[in-house]
Structure 1
Amino acid sequence: MNIIAQTEVGRETYLGIGSTGYAVFYLLVAITLAVFAYGVYRRFSRYTDGDDDPFARLDELPSRIVSAAKIVLSNEKQFNRDLYGGLMHSFILWGFLTLLIATTIIAVEQYGTELLFGIAFWQGDFYLAYQFMVDAMGLLFVVGIGMAIYRRYWVRNNRLWGRHTSSEDDIFIWTLFGLGVGGFLLEGLRIYITGMPEHEVVSFVGYGLALLFGAVGLPTTEAALSANYAATENLAFNAETLHWLSWWSHSLLALFFIAWIPYAKPFHMLSSFANVVVRDEKAGARLPNVPADLDATNAESIDDFTWKELLDQDACTKCGRCSSVCPAKASDRPLDPRDVILDLKKYREELDAGGEEQPIIADGGTSVINTETMESCMACMACMDACPVEIEHLQSFTRLNRQATDQGDISSSMQDVFQNVMQNGNTFGDSPRNRGDWTDDLEFDVTDAREEKVDYLWYVGDFPSYDERNKQVARSLATILKEADVSFGILFDDEKYDGNDIRRVGEEFLYVELAGHHVETWDDCEFDTIVCTDPHSYNTFKNEYPEVDFEEFADDPIMPFEYEEFWNDDGEIDVYHWTQAVEELVAEGNLELTGTELDYTVTYHDPCHLGRYNDEYEAPRELIKATGCTLDEMPRNRANAFCCGGGGGGLWMDFEEEPKPSEERIREALEDTDAGPDIEKFVVACPMCMTMYEDGRKTGGYEDEIEIVDVAELIIEAIGKADEASVEVAAD
Structure 2
Amino acid sequence: MNVIAQTEVTRETYYGISSVEKVLFYFLAAVAILVFLFGVYARFARYAEGDDDPFPRVDDLASRVVAASKIVLTNEKQFNRDLYGGLMHAFIFWGFLSLFIATSILAFDEYAYGLVFDASFWHGDFYLAYQFMVDAMGLLFVVGLGMAMYRRYWVQNERLWGRHTSLEDTAFVWILFLLGLGGFALEGIRIYATGMPEFEVVSFVGYGLAMGLGALESMGMSESLATSMHWWAWWSHSLLAFFFIAWIPYAKPFHMLSSFANVVTRDEKTGKRLPGVPADLDATNAESIDDFTWKEILDQDACTKCGRCSSVCPAKASDRPLDPRNVILDLKSYRESLNAGGEERPIIADGGTSVIDAETMESCMACMACMDACPVEIEHLQSFTRLNRQLVDQGDVDSNMQDVFQNVMQNGNTFGDSPRNRADWADELEFDLVDARDEEVEYLWYVGDYPSYDERNKRVARSLATILEAADVSFGILFEDEKYDGNDIRRIGEEFLYLELAGHHVESFEACDFEKLICTDPHSYNTFENEYPEVDFAEFADDPMMPFEYDEYWNQRGEIEVLHWTQAVEELVQDGKLALSGTELDYTVTYHDPCHLGRYNDEYEAPRELIRATGCDLQEMPRNRADSFCCGGGGGGLWMDFDEEPKPSEERLREALEDTDAGAGVEKFVVACPMCMTMYEDGRKTGGFEEDIEIVDVAELLVEAIGERETAGLE
Query: One fold, TM greater than 0.5?
Result: yes
For the aligned pair, the TM-score class normalised by the smaller chain equals over 0.9
Tell me what 1:197 maps to.
197
Tell me what 1:230 maps to.
none
Residue 602 of structure 1 and its aligned partner are, at CA, apart by: 0.3
**Residues in 2 aligned to 1:79 and 1:65: alpha-carbon distance in whole angstroms:** 21
Residue 4 of structure 1 and its aligned partner are, at CA, apart by: 6.3
Picking from 378, 402, 416, the partner of 2:389 is 402
Picking from 490, 515, 533, the partner of 2:477 is 490
- 8 Å CA contact 1:2–1:221 kept in 2: the answer is no
Q: Match of 2:205, as an amino acid?
A: V
Distance 1:72 1:595, change over 3 A: farther
Q: Kindly provide the CA deviation profile for residues 251-278 of structure 1, in whole angstroms up to 9, marking residues without a partner as x.
A: 0010000000000000000000000000
Q: Secondary structure at the match of 1:48?
A: helix
**Residues in 2 aligned to 1:592 and 1:520: alpha-carbon distance in whole angstroms:** 36
**Residues in 2 aligned to 1:220 and 1:18: alpha-carbon distance in whole angstroms:** 26
- 8 Å CA contact 2:2–2:195 kept in 1: the answer is no
Q: Secondary structure at the match of 1:725?
A: coil
Q: Match of 2:126, as an amino acid?
A: F
Residue 223 of structure 1 and its aligned partner are, at CA, apart by: 5.5
Tell me what 1:291 maps to.
278
Picking from 301, 306, 309, the partner of 2:296 is 309
Tell me what 1:615 maps to.
602
Picking from 615, 620, 626, the partner of 1:633 is 620
Tell me what 1:49 maps to.
49
Matched, 1:147 2:147: yes
Name structure 2 gaps, 5 residues minimum: none
- 8 Å CA contact 1:362–1:370 kept in 2: the answer is yes
Q: Kindly provide the CA deviation profile for residues 180-204 of structure 1, in whole angstroms up to 9, marking residues without a partner as x.
A: 0000000111111111111111111
- 8 Å CA contact 2:193–2:223 kept in 1: the answer is no
Residue 597 of structure 1 and its aligned partner are, at CA, apart by: 2.2
- 8 Å CA contact 2:436–2:476 kept in 1: the answer is yes
Tell me what 2:27 maps to.
27
Map of 1:291-370 to 2, 5 A cutoff?
Answer: 291-370=278-357
TM-score (ref. length: structure 1): 0.97
- 8 Å CA contact 1:220–1:240 kept in 2: the answer is no
Distance 1:386 1:2, change over 3 A: closer
Matched, 1:386 2:373: yes
Percent identity between the two aligned chains: 78
**Residues in 1 aligned to 2:109 and 2:4: alpha-carbon distance in whole angstroms:** 23
Tell me what 2:108 maps to.
108
Matched, 1:178 2:178: yes
CA RMSD of aligned residues (A): 1.2
Tell me what 1:232 maps to.
none
- 8 Å CA contact 1:219–1:239 kept in 2: the answer is no
Matched, 1:675 2:676: no
- 8 Å CA contact 1:3–1:222 kept in 2: the answer is no
- 8 Å CA contact 2:2–2:194 kept in 1: the answer is no
**Residues in 2 aligned to 1:461 and 1:548: alpha-carbon distance in whole angstroms:** 21
Map of 1:302-701 to 2, 5 A cutoff?
Answer: 302-701=289-688
Residue 593 of structure 1 and its aligned partner are, at CA, apart by: 0.7
Q: Kindly provide the CA deviation profile for residues 470-492 of structure 1, in whole angstroms up to 9, marking residues without a partner as x.
A: 00000000000000000000000
Q: Secondary structure at the match of 2:635?
A: coil
Q: Match of 2:179, as an amino acid?
A: L
Q: Kindly provide the CA deviation profile for residues 554-598 of structure 1, in whole angstroms up to 9, marking residues without a partner as x.
A: 000000000010000011110000000000000110001125320
Residue 630 of structure 1 and its aligned partner are, at CA, apart by: 0.1
Matched, 1:40 2:27: no
Matched, 1:130 2:117: no
Tell me what 1:214 maps to.
214
**Residues in 2 aligned to 1:492 and 1:568: alpha-carbon distance in whole angstroms:** 22
Residue 5 of structure 1 and its aligned partner are, at CA, apart by: 5.0
**Residues in 2 aligned to 1:678 and 1:417: alpha-carbon distance in whole angstroms:** 39
- 8 Å CA contact 1:4–1:194 kept in 2: the answer is no
Q: Secondary structure at the match of 1:575?
A: strand
Q: Secondary structure at the match of 2:33?
A: helix
Q: Match of 1:50, as an amino acid?
A: G
Q: Secondary structure at the match of 1:290?
A: coil
**Residues in 2 aligned to 1:680 and 1:429: alpha-carbon distance in whole angstroms:** 35
- 8 Å CA contact 2:348–2:355 kept in 1: the answer is yes
Q: Kindly provide the CA deviation profile for residues 85-126 of structure 1, in whole angstroms up to 9, marking residues without a partner as x.
A: 000000000000000001111111111110233131111111
Residue 363 of structure 1 and its aligned partner are, at CA, apart by: 1.1
**Residues in 1 aligned to 2:302 and 2:73: alpha-carbon distance in whole angstroms:** 16
Alignment: residue pair count: 715
Matched, 1:87 2:87: yes
Q: Kindly provide the CA deviation profile for residues 527-572 of structure 1, in whole angstroms up to 9, marking residues without a partner as x.
A: 0000000000000000000000000000000000000100000111
Q: Match of 2:562, as an amino acid?
A: V
Q: Secondary structure at the match of 2:78?
A: helix
Runs of 4+ in 1 over 3 A off after TM superposition: 1-5, 218-224
**Residues in 2 aligned to 1:289 and 1:479: alpha-carbon distance in whole angstroms:** 38
Q: Match of 2:678, as an amino acid?
A: T
Q: Secondary structure at the match of 1:612?
A: coil
Tell me what 2:159 maps to.
159
Larger displacement relative to structure 2 (333-342 or 696-705): 696-705
Distance 1:624 1:567, change over 3 A: same
Residue 725 of structure 1 and its aligned partner are, at CA, apart by: 1.1
Residue 222 of structure 1 and its aligned partner are, at CA, apart by: 7.6
Residue 215 of structure 1 and its aligned partner are, at CA, apart by: 1.0
**Residues in 2 aligned to 1:98 and 1:240: alpha-carbon distance in whole angstroms:** 27
Matched, 1:66 2:66: yes
- 8 Å CA contact 1:422–1:510 kept in 2: the answer is yes
Residue 6 of structure 1 and its aligned partner are, at CA, apart by: 2.7
**Residues in 1 aligned to 2:6 and 2:335: alpha-carbon distance in whole angstroms:** 55
Tell me what 1:227 maps to.
none
Tell me what 1:96 maps to.
96
